[in-house]
Structure 1
Amino acid sequence: MKSIIARVTTVGLVCRVIYKLTCNCAQNAPCIQLDRKKCICPIGRAGSTCDAIYDPCTLSSCQNNGTCMPVDDRSLKYVCVCSERYYGDICQYKNAHVTILSNNSTTIAIAAIVHFLNIHPRTGFMIHENSYLYKKFKLTSDNSLELILEKQMYLSNFIYIQMFRTSDRYYGIYYLVALLKQNQIKSIKPRLIQENRCPHVNELIKNQSVRDLSQLKRVKYYYDICVMNKQLRCFHDEIYQCFCDKRSQLDCLIFDHSVNNCPAKLNYCQNNALCKQTNRQGQWDFICICEKCYSRTLCQFTALQYSVSLEALIGS
């Protein structure tokens, strides 16, 4: 059904009528005047007067339950909106994913960050490819943590979980979830077990004088750590993530522990709280890990101001 649209064009201080613009456009198709009259067709219509019904999705090739969305036929005919597990122009690729299982115990943390890393081929540094922030993290025998890596076909070689239970542990607690020696692995189901915890090196060095050494001088003692701790898989210091293999051989890679620290201009946490953040695909999120006696989202609330001394209770 066509609609005859008349647009009144006026000019001047008193808005005197100059002429009327009449268009013979299909219903819901607005008319504009440029060098000539033109009908602006809505999605699903085509032609000079938008009379022709045009649905590019009838010929769409979206795969894996992708949803076709028609767009302006002068550029793209349509786009495929993919389900969570797929990506690509026609949803032809499957995202890599990890399902982390509990080891029949309950793990609770104020926050947890899952790191996905690979090794830089020339420098040997560990490069962060993805990180996911979870608030009020809880993993039990009844649930699991599934992570879908958007627009990534294969898993990274290294996967860590970094947990924060208190603000006084700057590095939190690292667990090595997976160390994949083969490339092109698309999915795994590892378990979060205590044997894969990566302690700070100061937990492993008993000699106080060695612990007090600078990192550069202390690192030469790291070989002994693997020899003396046969079951140890990994540990870390201020610069490295280190690994002990089955033959007690050591390998250390540079790891950026500050990659998830909030920058100063975006640190809204108060009262010396530890601020951790992620920024994935333009979506920024953060959490404040409060010191003792502080609470709320920004650690702005303290119970100290409401404390009552023993002398006040019994009378002085």
Structure 2
Amino acid sequence: MLDGNPSSENSRPFLITSRLSYFPSITSNIISPEQTNNFYDNYISLEETIYSRTDWYCNRGIVIFYKSNKTKKCLCPPSYFGSRCQWQNQRISLTLQFIYHSSTYLISIFQILITIIDQQREISSYHEQITYVPKRDCNTKFNLYLLYPDQPKNSSSNYSIHIDICNKTDLTYWGSWHLSIPFQFLPVNRIATQLFLSSNEQPTICPLSCGIHGTCIAYINKNSSYFCKCNQGYSGIYCQKEHNCSCSSDSLCITSSICICPINKFGSKCYLKHSFCQSCENNGLCIPNDNRFHLTNNFTCLCQEEFYGIRCENTKNQIDIEFNEEIIKKISLIFVHYITAFQNAKHQHTTTLKKIIYGQNTIKLFITQPFHIILIEISKQNYYLAVLRERFIQSENIKTKMLSNQKCFHINELLNKTLQLYPLYNRIKYYPMICRQYKNLMCFYDEFYMCICDFDRFSNCFLFNQTRIYNCQNDEQFFQDNITCPTVIMQLNVNFQQNDFFIT
């Protein structure tokens, strides 16, 4: 036993190596002292090699060499700073998704400016810009970093996010949003939101006096919230400060350090021109892609309505439909149903909305997807068979007239009263007889099926969903062409007594 006295003869260490044996058993590959020294020398050399590698030097950044490759410097991402990118910036991590709907086929391009402002509406020099193309960026979520004007940030200031949007083609102002920063005391904030692009109708009375160099503007996303939008060369909460603009003459000057460039230019002052936008055909509009969000191509071609393809090189199928004046009377829009049949799968049903220009009785449809049947709905459940195809022909130009004999009748107009009272599974077995009974009939339908009378006078029936997609807000009804990524949306005023649709 140990008596605890270090000077005692019986005093022993707690652990001795004698008689410990070996586990696992010793092998013949015993390292000699010389080999041991070489091992430690190699280990130290390896360790020095690892820590001297350039990819470890700047942590989150990129190392660069200058002065004959003897001096190293670090290029840091926006979220880090320091001589070796070792410190995190105080910042806002922002995720934005924009929702835009149009009632017509338009090539729309927007430039979006995102800045941090304080309570005096002083704009930080660090900003972000996004070129938003609804046709290209419908489902895109833009992830950005916004840095505070001072590092560390001024804890006595209340910051917020100001977002401006303008039309990229002519640099005209469109509207603005305001986002609050919920937790000002945090060094890093995370904000994610959806912003809806709509016509920003300005109020007739505005409470702010913006002087002769500004205009009072209401924010799109906040009721009773206003700001002074300053003219070029002026800034401040009431546009009272004057600053010099160094942007190119065809760009839009926001502050002395922020410029919004036209489509064909880029750079901090918009003096550089894009060189790769030369390949869009058929009057397609070339839009440079931002490498932060689009990694595939350097550009996007926005095609005219009748063309499609990566470079707008392909021609869509064009369908010209002329309406009888009695059919089109008092109708301002129609629904177009495209039906594509598959041999061993459910058919595809796509619906679009088409305006009828006042004083005209002809419409033009452009389509790229294969189809076999086109049905025109001129009022609620009032269908006409417009086009019938056994096979799809690429880039075909179809011209047809809409006559009264192309109308699809409801099944109750074709069956006698006794058969009308039958359940569906009993009534449907009489459908093959209808096309043979009515020699001039082209189509008919019930609450579930649409039936086409084929060349042999057989009833070719398929499930037909008559419900359209509406987005109801405050008892208003909207039609949108796609439930996940709509590009066309129209507000409808539906008169169910007259079974007519009108655009409001």
Are 2:377 and 1:175 aligned? Answer: no
State the AA in 1 paired with 2:340. N
The alignment yields a C-alpha RMSD, in angstroms, of 4.3
Contact 2:287 2:300 in 1 (8 A): yes
Report the equivalent of 1:61. Answer: 279
Question: Aligned partners of 2:342 and 2:349: how far apart in 1?
Answer: 10
Report the equivalent of 2:361. Answer: 143
Please list the CA deviations of residues 139-184 of structure 1 after superposition, one character each: whole Å capped at 9, or x if unmatched. Answer: 97x53111223xx2x55211011122xxxxxx52110001111223
Report the equivalent of 2:412. Answer: 202
Match of residue 191, structure 1, among 388, 393, 401: 401
Question: Aligned partners of 2:279 and 2:382: how far apart in 1?
Answer: 46
- Cα distance change, pair 266–190 in 1 and its aligned pair in 2 (3 A): farther
Match of residue 161, structure 1, among 372, 376, 387: 376
Deviation, structure 1 residue 73: 7.6
| Count of aligned residue pairs for this structure pair | 251
- Cα distance change, pair 243–112 in 1 and its aligned pair in 2 (3 A): same
Q: TM-score, normalised by structure 1?
A: 0.64
Deviation, structure 1 residue 279: 2.9
Contact 1:113 1:161 in 2 (8 A): yes
Deviation, structure 1 residue 41: 11
For structure 2, the residue ranges without an aligned partner over 5 or more in a row are 1-124, 127-148, 158-245, 249-257
- Cα distance change, pair 52–208 in 1 and its aligned pair in 2 (3 A): closer
SS in 2 for 1:56: coil
Match of residue 250, structure 1, among 459, 468, 475: 459
- Cα distance change, pair 276–231 in 1 and its aligned pair in 2 (3 A): farther
Report the equivalent of 1:102. Answer: 323
Are 2:493 and 1:288 aligned? Answer: yes
Question: Aligned partners of 1:213 and 1:139: how far apart in 2?
Answer: 44
Deviation, structure 1 residue 61: 1.3
User: Equivalences for 1:196-275 in 2 at 5 Å?
Assistant: 196-205=406-415, 207-258=416-467, 260=468, 262=470, 265-266=472-473, 268-269=475-476
- Cα distance change, pair 297–53 in 1 and its aligned pair in 2 (3 A): closer
Are 2:480 and 1:278 aligned? Answer: yes
Deviation, structure 1 residue 78: 3.4
Contact 1:56 1:78 in 2 (8 A): no
Report the equivalent of 2:192. Answer: none
Question: Aligned partners of 1:88 and 1:233: how far apart in 2?
Answer: 35
- Cα distance change, pair 276–211 in 1 and its aligned pair in 2 (3 A): farther
State the AA in 2 paired with 1:112. I
Contact 2:452 2:459 in 1 (8 A): yes
Which structure has the larger Rg? 2
Are 2:292 and 1:89 aligned? Answer: no
- Cα distance change, pair 53–195 in 1 and its aligned pair in 2 (3 A): same
- Cα distance change, pair 64–174 in 1 and its aligned pair in 2 (3 A): same
Question: Aligned partners of 1:296 and 1:242: how far apart in 2?
Answer: 24
SS in 2 for 1:190: strand
- Cα distance change, pair 266–9 in 1 and its aligned pair in 2 (3 A): closer
Contact 2:278 2:286 in 1 (8 A): yes
Are 2:346 and 1:128 aligned? Answer: no
- Cα distance change, pair 239–86 in 1 and its aligned pair in 2 (3 A): same
Which structure has the highest strand share of the two? 1
SS in 1 for 2:329: strand
Question: Aligned partners of 1:257 and 1:279: how far apart in 2?
Answer: 14
Question: Aligned partners of 2:390 and 2:301: how far apart in 1?
Answer: 35
Report the equivalent of 1:168. Answer: none
Question: Aligned partners of 1:226 and 1:72: how far apart in 2?
Answer: 57
Contact 1:124 1:253 in 2 (8 A): no
- Cα distance change, pair 183–288 in 1 and its aligned pair in 2 (3 A): same
Give the number of the structure with larger relative contact order, counting CA–CA contacts within 8 Å between residues 6 or more apart. Answer: 1
Deviation, structure 1 residue 138: 7.5
For structure 1, the residue ranges without an aligned partner over 5 or more in a row are 1-5, 16-26, 30-38, 165-170, 270-274, 300-316
- Cα distance change, pair 115–266 in 1 and its aligned pair in 2 (3 A): farther
Question: Aligned partners of 2:156 and 2:432: how far apart in 1?
Answer: 90
State the AA in 2 paired with 1:146. K
- Cα distance change, pair 290–41 in 1 and its aligned pair in 2 (3 A): closer
User: Equivalences for 1:104-119 in 2 at 5 Å?
Assistant: 107-110=328-331, 111-119=333-341
SS in 2 for 1:117: strand
Deviation, structure 1 residue 278: 3.0
Contact 1:242 1:253 in 2 (8 A): yes
Q: TM-score, normalised by structure 2?
A: 0.42
Contact 1:234 1:241 in 2 (8 A): yes
Question: Aligned partners of 1:188 and 1:62: how far apart in 2?
Answer: 26
Deviation, structure 1 residue 284: 2.7
Contact 1:56 1:77 in 2 (8 A): no
Deviation, structure 1 residue 88: 2.5
Deviation, structure 1 residue 14: 10
SS in 1 for 2:456: coil
Contact 1:161 1:177 in 2 (8 A): yes
Which stretch of the first structure deviates more once superposed, 213-222 or 75-84? Answer: 75-84
Question: Aligned partners of 1:217 and 1:128: how far apart in 2?
Answer: 26
